[in-house]
Structure 1
Amino acid sequence: MGYPDAQSQHALCTPFAVNIGSPSAYLDGDRIIKIAKQEGCCSIHPGYGFLSENSAFAKKCTEEGLIFIGPPWKAIEAMGNKRRVLQSQSKDIMIAAGVPCIPGYHGPNQDPTFLEAQAEKIGFPVLLKAVKGGGGKGMRIVRAIDEFHEQLVSAKSEAKNSFGDDVMLVEKYITTPRHIEVQIFADKYGNCVSLGERDCSIQRRHQKILEESPAPHLAQDIREDLWAKARAAALAVEYEGAGTVEFIFDNETGRFFFMEMNTRLQVEHPVTEMVTGLDLVRWQFTVAEGGRLPLTQDEIKTRIAERGWGIEARIYAENPDMNFTPDSGRLVHMRTPSQTETVRIDAGFIVGDQVSSYYDPMISKLIVNAPSRREAIQKLEAALSEYEIVGPATNIEFLKKLCQSPAFVAGNVETGYIQKHSDELFAPVLPVDEVFAQAALGLLMQEMADGKVEGVFGSLGTTVGPVLGLQRRHVPFIQPSPNGTGEAVQIDVEVNQTGPATFDVRVNDSLYSSVTSRYETFSRVLTSFFPHTRLSTTIVRNGNSVTVFHKGKQYRLECVLPNWVEKALGVKDVANSVLTPMPCKVLRVEVREGDKVTKDQSLVVIESMKMEMVIRSPQDGVISRVVYGEGVGALSKTLDATTLGAYIYPGHV
C-alpha cells in the first residue's frame, strides 16, 4: 500500500499489509517484487491498473521466480502496448487473423509537427491516445487543426504523469461510435473462449460510468462475429488468462474495428460474472496454476442465453454539474443498497473513510441482474435510490437520470450520449417546499435529541422560542441557482412545536400543520407524518450544508450563516479570483503577473486523481497576482482547495 492508504479497507482487511511509500510507488515494479519475495509470496496479482499491463514488470516477475497472475509478458507487449498492436508487424498479425483495424498512425515518430501532419492526412476529428494509457487517461479528441498542439501537450503530460510514458498514437475518431468489448479467457493449452460482450458506451472524459451485457440492438450474427474476432485476436498472440478485446462499433455503418486489448481483468468484469454466473478471478488463478478452462464455448453461450441482462454503475466521488470534476474528502454518512443474488455491490470504502485525491475517485460499483434489459434498468434505478452518501459530491443523482432517459431506456446508446442529451441529463431538480420543511424539522429534532437546543441551532437560524417549553425556530436556507445560471434564492422555514412530537412547519406560503415526527439520533433518520403521507427521511448535517434524502432523491441545502459567523470564520470575497475546484497538484502556470488574458484562456494546468484539467480565465482581465498558497514553495507540492485560497487573481481590464 502507498502511505495515503494506511487506513484504507484493503490495508485493514489483512495482517500482511506493507507500506511501499508514496502513491507513485505502485509503479515501482522492482520494489514490489522485492517486497513480495521478502514476504514469501509465490505469485503477484497486479489488479486493475498501475503495473497490470506492464510487460517489463510481468517479465521481471517471471525472471525472479514469481508467478504473474496474468498473460505472458510477450502477449502483453504485443497487445497491451497500443502502438505495437497497430505497428506494421502487429497490424499485419491482426489483419491476418481477420480482425479489422481502425485507420491511424501508430509509429515511433513523435515530433509534434509530424503528428499534426498525420492527423491532417487521417482527417479530423482524430483521437490522440497514450500508447500505455487506460481508463481514458492520456486521451484527447481533436476536432480541428488549430487545437491540435494544445491537446497534444495536455495528453502527453497526463500520460507521463499516469504511466511514465508520453508516446502517443493518432487515429480516426468515429463521430457516432459505440464502445463494445468482448471478455475472453485463454489457457496454456490453446483453448480460448468468449464470455460475451459488454456495451460501455455511456462515458464521460472517455471513461466508462455504465456498462451492460449483452449489448443492446446488436444483431446476433454481428454479436457472434465480435466474439470470434476477439478470440482470433487473442489466439494470434498466444494469449493466456483474462483479457478484454475492445472494438469501436460505428452506428452509422454497422461496422466494427479493433481498438485495443486490455491485457488484464477489467473494472467492469462483474457484469460478465452476472450474466455467466462465473467467478473470473477464480478462473485467473486456475489458468495461472496451469489448469484448463472450466467450460467450453457452447456451455458459456447457453449460460448467457439463460441469465438475462447485467448492468453496472460506477459510483464516483465527482460533481457532474461541474463537468464531472473529481471530488475528495471524508465519507461522513454512507448507506448502500441491500445485496441479493441479483444486486451486488463492490465497495472500497465505508463510512468514515477518506476518498483520496491521489487515485481514481470511484467509491463503489453497483451491479444488477434481471431477465430483461428494461427490468435490469428498473432494478438499477431502485438500488440507486437506496444509496445515501454525504461528504464528497457523487454522481448518484446523475445515474438516476440516466436510468430515466428515454433514449437510454430504448437502448439507443453511443459514446457521445451524455453530450448529446445534456439538456435532459443536466436539467435542474429543485427541492420542493416539503424538502426544506423536512430539513429544518430534522435539524431541530436532532438538536433537541442531543440536548443542544439553546446553542448550535442558533448558529443557523433564529431562536424564536422556547415558549412554555416548546421550541420555535426560523431557519433560512439557500437554494442554489440551477447549474449556476442565476441568482441563489433564500428559502425561509419556520418551525413551531405544538406538542412533544408535533409541529407546524411553514415554508414560504406552504403550511404543514400537525406534523408528527420521530428522530433516531444514531441513524439520523427522521420519520415524519405529513398530512395523508408517511415519509422516512434521512437528514445529515455536514458543516454548513444539510443533505436530505427524500423520496429516493438527494438534496443538498446550504444554511444561511449569520453575519457574525462570517466574520468569525473570516469569509472573504473572492469574486474576482480563480480557485482550484478540488485538491490538486499544479502542473503548469501559463501566465505571469501583468499578463493580459481573455475569457477562456488557459491560466493553470492542474492534476488530481490522475486527471489533468485546464483552469481557464472566467473573463477578460489583467493578472494582478499569482500565488500558490501558504506553505507551498514548489509546483510539485500538493495544494488543498479548502485552505489554498485564491492562487490567481485576474484584475479588471
Structure 2
Amino acid sequence: MLGAVLVANRGEIAVRVLRACRALEVPGVAVYSDADARAAHVRAADVAVRIGPAPARASYLDGARIVEVAREQGVAYVHPGYGLLSEDADFAAAVLDAGLGWVGPPPAVIARLGDKVAARAAAREVGVAVLDGTPAPVDATTPDLADRAAEIGFPLLVKAAHGGGGRGMRVVREPAGLADALAAAGREAAASSGRPEVFLERFVDRARHVEVQVLADAHGAVAVLGDRDCTVQRRHQKLLEEAPAPDLPDAVRAAMHDDARRLVASVGYRGAGTVEFLVDPAAGRTVFLEMNTRLQVEHGVTEMVTGVDLVVAQLRVAGGEPLATVLGRDGDVPVHGHAIQARITAEDPAADFRPAPGHLSALVLPSGPWVRCDVGYAAGDDVPPAYDSLLGKVHAWAPDRDTARIRLGAALDELVVTGVPTTGPLLRQVLDRPEFADVTHDTGSLERDWLAAVPPSSPVAPAPVVGNGENGEQDRTVELATDAGPLRLRVPGRARAGASRPARARAGRSVAAGAGAADAGLRAPMDATVVAVPARSGAHVEAGEVLVVLEAMKMELPVRATSAGEVATVHVAAGDGVTAGTVLVAMAG
C-alpha cells in the first residue's frame, strides 16, 4: 500500500502527479514558492506547504528544505516530476537517507545516467553507438580545448552535462564562437538545474530526434513502452511530440529498442526513464544522445497509445510491485494508434520565442473524445517570470497518424489563451506543413524554414508614439535590439512618487524603471534577471553587439546595440533584478 506523496515540483507536472495520487487514493502534498502561492498545483493538493521565495534556488531547488517538509508532513514518498531536482542524485540520496521512498531510480544510477558525459560512457560499454564528444566536462580553462573542438569538428554542440528540456545548449559553427557559447550554455544550465557543467559533442544537421520509453522494476524486469518522435524543436527544446515515431524502418526501431533495454538493464535501472537517440541521416542509423532518468514532458502521448498511466506505474514500482502486476503482462507493451502532443508555452514565436510572463485573462481548453489537455494554469492565474514557460500540453489520438494530426489541429483551433502570447498558433501551422505531414522534416526545420512564414506579433512602428503618462509625464518610445530584430516599446511616463514596482529578482539588488535614466538607452523588455554585462562605460560598440544578457523563464535574451556608438553609462550589474522598461545601458549622444 502506498502512503502520502510529496510532489517536489510545480506547474503542469505537479498537477499531473497529484492527479495520479487521487487515482491511487493516497494524499498528495504540494510545495510552493511565494510566486506560486495561488498556483494550480497548490489548489489541487490535499496539503500545500510554502518552501521559500520566488527564485528557484531559494525554493524548488532547495533540496534540504523540501526533505524537511516531507518529514514534517509524514509522507511516504517523494515524486520529483521533471526538471528542477528530478535528476539530482544528491537530492534522491537525501530523500532516502531521511527514511522516505524515492519515486525514481537509485541515486547511483541517476549519477551515472543523469550525467550526460557518464551516460555516454555507459552506452559505449554495452555497445550502443554515441556521437563524438569530449569524455569529460570542459570550460574556457580546459587545456587543449581548441584541439579537442577541432578533433570533434565544426559544427559542434556545447551541451549541459546535467538537466534537460534543451537548456544549456549552443551550436558552434566556427572556433571564434566557442568561448561565448561555453559561457552562455553554462549560465543557462546553472539557472535550469543548478549545475553549470558542459561538454562538447558533434552536431548533426538535419537529423530526427527519437526516443524510447522504458519502465523497470526492483526485481530486474525491464519493459519497453514504444517510442516517440520529438523532431519539431526550437533552441533544442521540443514543441511537438508523437508516438510512435513515424516512418522508421522496422529494423531501425527494433535495434533502438534493444539498445535502450540493454543500457538500462546494465545499470540496474528502476522506474520510468527515456533513452534518447538521433537518427543520423549520414550514418543511416540511430546514435545515443542521453538518458533522462525521470518522467518526460511528452509522456502523455505514450500513455494514449499504450493505455498505461505512467505516473501511477512509477508510484506502484516505487512501492515494490513487479512490472507484471503493474502492467498486467510480461514483456513489452504493444502500441495502438497514434498520438501527437503540442506544448503550449508562454513565448512569442514572432520575437524569437521571447519568454512572455504575464496574467492569463482567459484560458479555454479544447475538449472531445480523442483530446486530452494537461495544464498547470487556469484563467486568472499569473505566469511568473522565475520559472519555465510551459503552460500545458494539448494531445490528440487517432487510429492513424494523419487523423491524429487533423484532430490535434482542430483542438488547437479551439484553444483560447489571452494575456500572453503562446506557441499554440504556430504549432497549428506546423501541423499543416507538408514536410511534417510527409515526415521529411528535421530538428532544424522550424527555425530554419518555417518561422519565415510567421507574421510579426508586434510590427515595428514607423514613427515614435508620444502620449501623456500619469501626472502629465510624456510616454517614451524606445527601440530595443534583440536577436529577433529591433522592437519599439512604448514606455509609460513616470508614475507617482513611490509607485515604482520592485523588481522580482533572483539575486542581487532590485533595479526598477523610473526617472533619472537616459532616454537614449536600451531598456529591459520584461521583468528579468541580469546574468551578464559585457558593456563597459566609455567603450565603442558596433551595431548588433551584445551589451547585456537577461534571463527570464529559464531562457537567455541578449540585448544588442541598435547602432554603433559609445556607451555612456551601464546601469545594471550581473545578479540585478530588473522590471520591464528599466534602462540597462545608456548610449552617448
TM-score norm. by structure 2 comes to 0.83
State the partner residue of 1:74.
Answer: 108
Structure 1 pair 577/54, CA: closer, same or farther in 2 (3 Å)?
A: same
Contact 1:241 1:284 in 2 (8 A): yes
Give the secondary structure class of the aligned counterpart of 1:62.
Answer: helix
Give the secondary structure class of the aligned counterpart of 1:574.
Answer: strand
Amino acid at match of 2:587: P
State the partner residue of 1:134.
Answer: 164
State the partner residue of 1:638.
Answer: 577
Selected match of 1:11 from 30, 39, 42: 42
Selected match of 2:390 from 359, 362, 365: 362
- The correspondence of residues 536-615 of structure 1 with structure 2, limited to 5 A, is 568=472, 570-575=474-479, 576-615=520-559
State the partner residue of 2:585.
Answer: 648
Kindly indicate whether residue 38 of structure 2 is the aligned counterpart of residue 94 of structure 1: no
In the alignment, the residues of structure 2 paired with residue 250 and residue 314 of structure 1 have an alpha-carbon distance, to the nearest angstrom, of 25
- The correspondence of residues 178-257 of structure 1 with structure 2, limited to 5 A, is 178-257=208-287
Deviation at 1:242, TM superposition (A): 0.1
Contact 1:358 1:609 in 2 (8 A): yes
Contact 2:123 2:263 in 1 (8 A): yes
Structure 1 pair 600/15, CA: closer, same or farther in 2 (3 Å)?
A: same
Amino acid at match of 1:379: R
Structure 1 pair 568/362, CA: closer, same or farther in 2 (3 Å)?
A: farther
Selected match of 1:286 from 306, 316, 325: 316
Deviation at 1:262, TM superposition (A): 0.3
Deviation at 1:561, TM superposition (A): 8.9
In the alignment, the residues of structure 2 paired with residue 119 and residue 255 of structure 1 have an alpha-carbon distance, to the nearest angstrom, of 24
- The correspondence of residues 383-402 of structure 1 with structure 2, limited to 5 A, is 383-402=411-430
In the alignment, the residues of structure 1 paired with residue 286 and residue 238 of structure 2 have an alpha-carbon distance, to the nearest angstrom, of 19
- Superposition RMSD in Å: 2.2
Deviation at 1:243, TM superposition (A): 0.2
Amino acid at match of 2:98: E
Give the secondary structure class of the aligned counterpart of 2:83.
Answer: coil
Contact 1:245 1:262 in 2 (8 A): yes
Contact 1:115 1:170 in 2 (8 A): no
In the alignment, the residues of structure 2 paired with residue 108 and residue 155 of structure 1 have an alpha-carbon distance, to the nearest angstrom, of 12
Amino acid at match of 1:605: V
State the partner residue of 2:491.
Answer: none
Unaligned runs of 5+ in 2: 1-31, 480-519
Deviation at 1:301, TM superposition (A): 4.7
CA-to-partner distance for each residue in 1:579-601, whole Å, 9 max, x for gaps?
Answer: 22222001122112222110111
In the alignment, the residues of structure 1 paired with residue 441 and residue 226 of structure 2 have an alpha-carbon distance, to the nearest angstrom, of 18
Identical counterparts, % of pairs: 38
In the alignment, the residues of structure 1 paired with residue 453 and residue 437 of structure 2 have an alpha-carbon distance, to the nearest angstrom, of 13
In the alignment, the residues of structure 2 paired with residue 15 and residue 637 of structure 1 have an alpha-carbon distance, to the nearest angstrom, of 37
Selected match of 1:58 from 85, 92, 96: 92
- The correspondence of residues 266-285 of structure 1 with structure 2, limited to 5 A, is 266-285=296-315
- The correspondence of residues 134-533 of structure 1 with structure 2, limited to 5 A, is 134-293=164-323, 294-295=326-327, 300-302=332-334, 304=335, 307-338=336-367, 340-422=368-450, 424-427=452-455, 481=459, 484=460, 487=462
TM-score norm. by structure 1 comes to 0.75
In the alignment, the residues of structure 1 paired with residue 70 and residue 123 of structure 2 have an alpha-carbon distance, to the nearest angstrom, of 36
Deviation at 1:568, TM superposition (A): 4.6
State the partner residue of 2:61.
Answer: 27
Deviation at 1:113, TM superposition (A): 4.9
Deviation at 1:577, TM superposition (A): 3.1
In the alignment, the residues of structure 2 paired with residue 174 and residue 18 of structure 1 have an alpha-carbon distance, to the nearest angstrom, of 45
Structure 1 pair 649/195, CA: closer, same or farther in 2 (3 Å)?
A: same
Deviation at 1:215, TM superposition (A): 1.2
In the alignment, the residues of structure 1 paired with residue 131 and residue 329 of structure 2 have an alpha-carbon distance, to the nearest angstrom, of 28
Question: Higher Cα Rg: structure 1 or 2?
Answer: 1
In the alignment, the residues of structure 2 paired with residue 190 and residue 565 of structure 1 have an alpha-carbon distance, to the nearest angstrom, of 68
In the alignment, the residues of structure 1 paired with residue 454 and residue 138 of structure 2 have an alpha-carbon distance, to the nearest angstrom, of 42
Unaligned runs of 5+ in 1: 430-479, 489-559, 629-633
- The correspondence of residues 31-46 of structure 1 with structure 2, limited to 5 A, is 31-46=65-80
Amino acid at match of 1:638: G
Give the secondary structure class of the aligned counterpart of 1:229.
Answer: helix
Selected match of 1:122 from 152, 176, 181: 152
Contact 2:138 2:200 in 1 (8 A): no
Number of paired residues? 512
CA-to-partner distance for each residue in 1:213-235, whole Å, 9 max, x for gaps?
Answer: 11121111111111111111100
State the partner residue of 2:512.
Answer: none
In the alignment, the residues of structure 2 paired with residue 608 and residue 313 of structure 1 have an alpha-carbon distance, to the nearest angstrom, of 22
Q: Which piece of structure 1 moves more, 94-103 or 579-588? A: 94-103
Structure 1 pair 5/423, CA: closer, same or farther in 2 (3 Å)?
A: closer
Deviation at 1:67, TM superposition (A): 0.5
Structure 1 pair 344/108, CA: closer, same or farther in 2 (3 Å)?
A: closer
Tell me: higher relative CO, structure 1 or 2? Use CA pairs within 8 A at least 6 residues apart. Answer: 2
Deviation at 1:564, TM superposition (A): 5.7
Deviation at 1:245, TM superposition (A): 0.3
Deviation at 1:627, TM superposition (A): 2.7
CA-to-partner distance for each residue in 1:30-89, whole Å, 9 max, x for gaps?
Answer: 211111011111110011111111111111222221110111111111111112223xxx
Contact 1:212 1:271 in 2 (8 A): yes
Amino acid at match of 1:182: V
Contact 2:535 2:547 in 1 (8 A): yes
Give the secondary structure class of the aligned counterpart of 1:135.
Answer: coil
Selected match of 1:48 from 51, 58, 82: 82
In the alignment, the residues of structure 1 paired with residue 67 and residue 152 of structure 2 have an alpha-carbon distance, to the nearest angstrom, of 42
Contact 2:106 2:270 in 1 (8 A): yes
Give the secondary structure class of the aligned counterpart of 1:375.
Answer: helix
Q: Which piece of structure 1 moves more, 264-273 or 171-180? A: 171-180
Deviation at 1:106, TM superposition (A): 2.4
In the alignment, the residues of structure 1 paired with residue 268 and residue 337 of structure 2 have an alpha-carbon distance, to the nearest angstrom, of 32
Contact 2:521 2:583 in 1 (8 A): yes
